[in-house]
């Protein structure tokens, strides 16, 4: 009986040792396997461009984390690297959130885009960046030195980990009457250093990491007048041998803008400069671009319906057909947030107006637009 029991135990142990494991492969809590073997859009796009998402640590603390790792192969921190958050006080840096995003991306084989080194908007940095303790604007020399130290510290920390940076954000004027200066001239940064702050930012970023791709990021490229001003800035930088590699198009678009012709002419315009194009903050509202002053959410039909779905499908198909056409110039497409659940467009430009601008709904399920875009890439 002893011999029989020993044989049975030995057989059981051998069976356990050599039988295939039924466990899913996981890495730091992230499921590496696609759901039910589904074909993923990022895989279809692999030979075209990376498919990215801009999100934050709050997204990584939810069930969206596994979805981010599964559906995207590029990650842009939405707020964690903005000056206000990563460098809140002079000489004091807060790396925790930015580090956690970069480390998450690396663990899950995702590329990382940095956003953003310099943005003139006073909501993106604290007052010490441009003013002294008495509230007076800094001298140009002091401001540029502080900007250099900031860029050296941030870019230097992630050298070799972040492959591309939005160096300067939204500096171009929206005013169609702009002539001499095409830069927004009301900001502290401009009033201290003129457009030199833009040029120096690119110079410092390149010095901190010569291997990183550097982008100028803005909205409104589809408007012909603003497009010309953005083009002018990039051309001037290239003609001056400044290190700029591409233009970032935010692409917060609407159900009625851009039209196919607008988008095509916009993309073609920047191919003439020979720079890379990245779509950096893509989402498409189900509402038209119109004057909403004085309106509330009650003035709109905010329910998801077949009409909104059909329009969203048509718009996303149009966009990705254009991206496909210009694939040799487009080196990344990034969505601004993961799903409709936390999209900023629910509160912009009308507070609490439900919007449905992304490829995944509030339950993290792919919409019809996802499936239709997938069909464009054999």
User: Which residues in the chain belong to E strands, given as ranges?
Assistant: 26-27, 30-31, 51-55, 74-77, 111-119, 164-169, 213-218, 246-249, 252-253, 276-284, 330-336
Q: 331 to each of 86, 197, 241, 259, how far by Cα in Å? A: 27, 26, 22, 22
Contact status, residue 184 vs residue 124, Cβ threshold 8 Å: no
233 belongs to a structural domain: yes
128 belongs to a structural domain: yes
Structure confidence at residue 181 (pLDDT):
73
321 belongs to a structural domain: yes
**How far apart are alpha carbons 276 and 168 in whole angstroms?**
16
Residues pairing with 30 in the sheet: 27
19 belongs to a structural domain: no
Total tally of structural domains belonging to the chain: 1
Question: pLDDT tens-digit profile of 280-323?
Answer: 999 999 999 999 999 999 999 999 999 999 999 999 999 999 99
Residue 134 pLDDT class (50, 70, 90 cuts): very high
26 belongs to a structural domain: no
87 belongs to a structural domain: yes
Higher pLDDT, 51 or 178: 51
User: Which residues in 254-315 belong to E strands, given as ranges?
Assistant: 276-284
Domain range for 76 is: 43-374
Contact status, residue 312 vs residue 369, Cβ threshold 8 Å: yes
Active site (catalytic) residues: 170, 281
**Does residue 76 surpass a pLDDT of 70?**
yes
* Mean pLDDT calculated for residue range 189-202: 97
Structure confidence at residue 179 (pLDDT):
56
* Mean pLDDT calculated for residue range 54-71: 97
**How far apart are alpha carbons 259 and 251 in whole angstroms?**
13
Q: Provide the CATH number for the domain around residue 260.
A: 3.20.20.80
**How far apart are alpha carbons 311 and 261 in whole angstroms?**
17
Structure confidence at residue 182 (pLDDT):
87
121 belongs to a structural domain: yes
230 belongs to a structural domain: yes
* Mean pLDDT calculated for residue range 222-238: 95
Least confident range of 133-137, 182-186, 261-265: 182-186
């Amino acid at each position: 009986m002893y011999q029989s029991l020993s044989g049975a135990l030995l057989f059981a142990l051998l069976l356990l040792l050599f039988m295939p494991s039924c466990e899913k492969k996981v890495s730091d809590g992230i499921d590496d396997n696609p759901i039910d073997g589904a074909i993923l859009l990022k895989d279809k796009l692999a030979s075209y461009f990376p498919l990215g998402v801009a999100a934050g640590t709050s997204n990584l603390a939810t069930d969206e984390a596994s979805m981010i790792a599964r559906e995207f192969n590029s990650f842009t921190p939405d707020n964690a690297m903005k000056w206000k958050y990563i460098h809140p006080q002079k000489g004091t840096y807060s790396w925790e959130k930015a580090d956690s995003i970069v480390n998450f991306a690396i663990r899950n084989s995702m590329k990382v885009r940095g956003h953003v080194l310099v943005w003139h908007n006073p909501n993106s940095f604290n007052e010490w960046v441009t003013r002294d303790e008495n509230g007076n604007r800094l001298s140009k020399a002091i401001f540029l030195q502080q900007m250099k130290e900031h860029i050296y510290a941030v870019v230097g920390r992630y050298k070799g980990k972040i492959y591309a940076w939005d160096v300067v954000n939204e500096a171009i004027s929206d005013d169609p009457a702009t002539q001499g200066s095409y830069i927004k001239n009301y900001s502290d940064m401009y009033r201290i250093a003129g457009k030199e702050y833009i040029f120096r930012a690119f110079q410092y970023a390149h010095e901190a990491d010569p291997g990183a791709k550097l982008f100028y990021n803005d909205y409104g490229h589809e408007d012909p007048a603003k497009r010309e001003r953005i083009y002018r800035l990039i051309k001037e930088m290239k003609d001056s041998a400044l290190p700029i590699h591409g233009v970032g198009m935010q692409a917060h678009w609407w159900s009625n803008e851009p039209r196919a012709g607008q988008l095509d002419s916009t993309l073609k315009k920047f191919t003439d400069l020979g720079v890379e194009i990245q779509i950096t903050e893509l989402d498409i509202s189900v509402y038209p671009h119109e004057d909403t002053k004085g309106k509330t959410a009650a003035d709109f039909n905010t329910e998801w319906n077949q009409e909104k779905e059909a329009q969203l499908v048509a718009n996303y198909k149009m966009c990705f057909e254009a991206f496909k056409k210009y694939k040799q110039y487009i080196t990344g497409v990034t969505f601004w947030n993961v799903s409709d659940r936390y999209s900023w467009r629910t509160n912009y430009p009308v507070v609490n107006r439900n919007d449905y601008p992304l490829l995944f709904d509030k339950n993290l399920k792919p919409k019809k637009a996802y499936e239709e875009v997938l069909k464009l890439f054999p």
